[in-house]
A and B are shown apart, each in its own frame.
Chain A
C-alpha cells in the first residue's frame, strides 16, 4: 500500500506536466464527458461545467463527414486505440486542429471509459495548407513557362538531370538539351552566365538544319557532393517564347542596320568630299572671263568626266550588286593614271593621308593605249585607296604599276596599291580572306567591289604583305604581242584598232526630253552630226509626234505628263521595230531595266555625247536595227 501511495505521489508531477501540455478528457462508455482538464477548457473556450455531462459533439467543426466519426467510434468501441487529426470548433466559433489519441480503458474485459489526449496542431495544419497552396501555384507557374532544371558538371561540362531536379510538370524533354546544340557564336554567352550566377543569357540551340530555337539560361548555384570532388552547377533553362524570339531577331536586325548605317555614313562622307573637289574647280572656272573659259575647256571636260565617273562609282559603292555594262575603250595609261590620281588625292587628304602615284612602267608603255574599261580599273584602284585610308591606320598610300609575265606567255598590266599601315592578320595574309584584324565589313565591301570589277575584266585582285603595311594588286591581262621582240618599239600596231566612227548622217531622230537646256544641247549635238532631229517636250508630245518614218527614238525617263516608260509602251503598240534608246541618269534607280522591259532597245547614260551617240548608232547598225538613208 505504501508502495502504491509512493508510486501515486511520483505520478502527480508527471500528470501535471501532461495537463499543462495536452488537452485531456475522459468519457463514460457512452461518450458522455466525465472530465476535462484546464487546457481542454482553455483551447475550447468552454468551462468544465459546460462540458461535463455533454458528448464531444458540442465541439464538432462540420469539416469531417459522418463516416469519419463512425469510423472513430467503431475503432474505440471495439477496444482499440484511435489516432488521428481532428478539427474542432471552439465556443467562440474558431476552428482548431488537434492530433488525438483516444484509448478505451478496460475493466474486466468491458469498456469502463475512454481517455483522450490531444495536442493542438492548428499552426502546423495552417502552415501545411499554405505550403500546399504555394506548391500548387508554383506548379501552375511552371506549367505556363516551359522550363527545365538540370545540372552542368564543372569538370566535364556535361549536362544531366537528377531525380530531385524534376520539379513540377516540366513540359519538354531534358534529353533533347545537350551542350553541343548551342550555336557556336553564343557559347561565349554561357561562359558569361557561368561567371555571373543568376544572370540570364539568351542563346540559340540548333536541333537540326533550319531548326533553331531560342532559350534563356540562368546558372543558379554551385552544388558540391559530400566528397567535394565533382562540383556541378544547377541550371535553369526556359524556352524563349515566340514574341521574345521575334524581339531578339529584331534587335539583331537593328544592330546590323546601325552597322550598315555607320558604314554608309563613312562612305558618303568620303564621296561627298570627292564630289566637292571637282565641283569647286568648276565653280572657279565659271568665275573666269569668256576667253579664259574657252581656253580652259579641256580642263572643264576633264573635271566633268571625273565628276560623272565619281557619281557612277557612288552608285557602285552604295549598291555593289549594280551591273554597269562593260565599256571597252582605248585609253592611254597616262590619262588613266591621271584620272586615278585625281580621284585618289581628295580621298587621301580627307583621311589625312599622303597619296603618291609612281610612274613605274617602261617609258614606251606610258604612251600606249590599252583597250580596257577605264571606269572599272579606276574604281577598283580607288576602292583600294579608300580601303587603305579607312582601315590601314598608316599615313601614306601609293599606287604604282608593273608588268607581270608568266612563263606560259601571258602578260598582265598591274596596279599596286600600297600603304604603310598595320597590315593584315596572318589568316588573311594567306589569301583566304582579305580583311584587317578588328575591322571587316567595310573593308570587305571595298575589296569585294574591286575584286568584282577586276574579275569582269578577266583580271585578279591579290594581296601581298609588305615589310610595313599591305599591298593590293590588280592584274589585268593585256595582249602579249606588245612585247614581241620582232617588232621593237612598235607597240601601237599590236593594239586593236579603235572603233571606226563613220556613222550614217541624216538619220531622222525623235528626241524626247523635258529639260529645256539638255534638250537644246542634245539637239545641237545631233544636228552637228548631220542628223534630222524632231524634238518633243514630254512623253505625250513624243507620242503625238511619232510616226513610222523615224530611224531612232531617243528618250528621257523622268518627264511630266507621260514618262519615258509609258511612252515606249505606247510606241511599241504601234511600231515594234523602230530602235528606241533611253537616255537616263543611269545612276539612279532601276530605270534602265524598266525602260528595257517596256520595249526599249537599249538605255545609255546621260549626258549624251558625240562618242556615246556614235557608239550606240554603230551598235544598232551592227544589229541590223538601223539602215542609214544614205546606204
Chain B
C-alpha cells in the first residue's frame, strides 16, 4: 500500500509519553496511520476529526476518565464501526465488566505486550 490510500487509522489517547512511544514503536511495524492525543478533550476532538478505525484509550487521563471518551464516541455515527481498545493499570473485575457493557472490544493491562496488541489491532 502506498501513501494516499486509506490505511488503518489508529488514535491512541494516553498522556504517558512512554506508553505513547511504546504504542508508536509497535504500530510502526505493522503499517498504520497513527494519531496521538493526551487527554479526554483533545481525544474526543481528534476522534471527530480523523475518524479512526481503532481507538486505544487509557482510562486514567489528566482531565478525566477514558470511559467518558468511550461513552461519548460510541454515539458517533461516523465511528460506528470503530474498534475500542482499553489500556489501563486497573485490573479490577468491576472495571472490566463495565467496559464490556460499554461495548469495548479488547482490554489490556499495562505493561503492554507487543504481539497481543498487534493482534488486537489487526483483528
Contacts and interface: CB of A to CB of B under 8 A. Distances in A.
Contacts of A400: 35, 46, 49-50
A254 to B, nearest CB: 39
Interface string A380-412: 000000000000000000101111111100011
A398 B78 contact: no
Given A360-B37, A364-B20, A416-B50, A405 B6 contact: no
Contact of A362 (B4, B21, B33): B21
Given A405-B30, A407-B30, A488 B21 contact: yes
Contacts of A365: 24
Q: Name the prevailing secondary structure of the B interface residues.
A: mixed
B30 to A, nearest CB: 7
Interface string B45-88: 11001110000000000000000000000000110000000000
A1 interface: no
Contacts of B103: none
A63 interface: no
B63 to A, nearest CB: 15
Interface residues of A, number: 38
A488 B37 CA distance: 20
A167 B20 CA distance: 86
Nearest to B36: A362
Contacts of A95: none
Nearest to B32: A405
A462 B20 contact: no
B27 interface: yes
B17 interface: yes
B28 interface: yes
A404 B35 contact: no
B34 interface: yes
A418 interface: yes
A232 interface: no
Interface string B7-33: 101000000011011011101111111
A464 interface: yes
Given A363-B17, A411-B28, A460-B4, A404 B49 contact: no
A475 B3 contact: yes
Interface of A: 358-365, 398, 400-407, 411-412, 414, 416, 418, 431, 459-464, 466-467, 473, 475, 480, 483, 485, 488-489
The 7 closest A-B pairs by CB, nearest first: A462-B4, A475-B3, A407-B31, A467-B78, A405-B28, A362-B20, A360-B35
6 contacts: A362-B24, A363-B38, A403-B33, A404-B7, A406-B31, A489-B18
